[in-house]
Structure 1
Amino acid sequence: MTTDAHHAADTFDYERALQRCARGDRMALQEIYRRESRHLLGVVLRIVRQRQQAEDVVHDAFINIWSRAEGFDATRGSGRGWIYSVARNLALNAVRNGAREVSVDEETAEALEVRQAMDAHSQTVDAFALNASVGRLNDCLARLEPGRRNCILYAYVDGCSHGEIAQRTQTPLGTVKAWIKRGMHTLKECMG
């Protein structure tokens, strides 16, 4: 990626693109798809663990993004974050609804539990409780060794694959996987 292309990605206005989707501008949805579909697929694939199902979930996520764009509220979070939460929620629902059909390994199960706890906290109506939960998550993240914390954030916020994280951090792939697994276990215990 050239410096100009990287800079252009950094300045993409997700909030404006979602507003355009809400007004029926299909080009805005195509721009979001072009920028995020690969990363969303990585995030979803780590949850559902089956390529075809992950592709289906990403497809459904873009349908939801299109149909629910007018419900996006910039005062409650970033546009990119909202896009990822739509995809993650659909992936979690797919795993919950098809639990007998989908094999979930221990690492994914732990990640699902942490994600479900985060989702439950984010759906809290009480602003004080929500702030306390976010504060607790931040405290738990702050307790992690920086390498583990960064790997978890790259995986679950940026949607990077383990290989991409290894490249970004110049860390062996096995170490990245171990850090994420141990870090997620520590977070799960901390969030208790």
Structure 2
Amino acid sequence: MARPHDDVHLRHLIAATALGNAPAFRELYDATSAKLFGFALRILKKHELAEEALQEAYVSVWHAASGYQPHLSAPLTWMATIVRNKALDLYRRASADIELDPGQLDLDIVAAVPDGAASPQDRVQLSDEARALAACMQHLEGLHRQAIGLAYFHDLSHSEIASQLRLPIGTVKTWIRRGLDKLRQCLARRENV
């Protein structure tokens, strides 16, 4: 049984899955599903919805395994991105039934699946950067913060954000652009301190 953090073994399992090896896919599932289910549950907050997102994600992993590029991300990070996208798709389809505040910026979701290749020192730096980003986000106006959160933490397009916030798309684009400028300035000031 592979350990979820054994990147080399997981890369081999993904490569075998890309060739249609069902036992390798099963081993990949056994090695990663518990962690990825927890990740989906943190996003969706409901057990049955997290199960559905996970199932859809593994179907995508089966079909997309040949497209995995190990030099771009660790296996678990790649799979977590697929799970996150499936969870957000599910959220959009059933948004009336899910108790999720789209304006809540759950920054710990971003850090929930660290890159397995990162050293302990890199992880500390990433953690410090996440805290700095969270602090700077608090300085943005509420709707600007919500628009950026929906775009970058919930992976919504500008038109989806405009629809969700019931605003013109131009307004959303302006808020995101201005918000990102303010975040850059805030982060630069924090670096110079």
* 2:86 corresponds to 1:103: no
Partner Cα distance (2:33, 2:78) in 1:
14
What is aligned with 1:33? 29
| Number of the residue aligned with 1:186 | 135
State whether structure 2 residue 133 is matched by structure 1 residue 141. no
Larger Rg: 2
Task: Give me the whole-angstrom Cα distance separating, in 2, the residues matched to 1:25 and 1:18.
Answer: 9
Q: What does 1:1-16 align with in structure 2 at a 5 Å threshold?
A: 9=3, 10-11=5-6, 13-16=9-12
RMSD of aligned residue pairs (Cα, Å): 3.4
Structure with more relative contact order (C-alpha pairs < 8 Å, separation 6 or more): 1
Task: Give the TM-score normalised by the residue count of structure 2.
Answer: 0.55
For residues 15 and 56 of structure 2, the distance between their equivalents in structure 1, rounded to whole angstroms, comes to: 19
Asked whether the 8 Å contact 1:22–1:69 carries over to 2, the reply is: yes
What percentage of aligned pairs have identical amino acids?
A: 22
Q: For residue 59 of structure 1, what is the aligned residue in structure 2?
A: 55
Structure 1 distance, partners of 2:70, 2:86, is 21
Unaligned runs of 5+ in 1: 116-137, 150-182
Offset, 1:20: 0.4
Cα distance between partner residues in 2 of 1:95 and 1:73:
27
* Structure 1 equivalent of residue 65 of structure 2: 69
Q: Provide the C-alpha distance between the structure 2 equivalents of 1:89 and 1:49, rounded to a whole number of angstroms.
A: 15
Cα contact 1:44–1:57 (8 A) shared by 2: yes
* Whole-Å separation in 1 of the counterparts to 2:94 and 2:45: 12
Q: Deviations over 1:53-87 (max 9, x none)?
A: 11011111111100110111112111121111111
The structure whose residues are more often helix, as a share, is: 1
Contact kept in structure 2, 1:111 and 1:184, CA below 8 Å:
no
Q: CA 1:141/1:64 → structure 2, altered by over 3 Å: closer, same or farther?
A: same
* Structure 1 residue 32, shift from structure 2 partner: 1.3
Superposition pairs for residues 119-130 of structure 1, below 5 Å? Answer: none
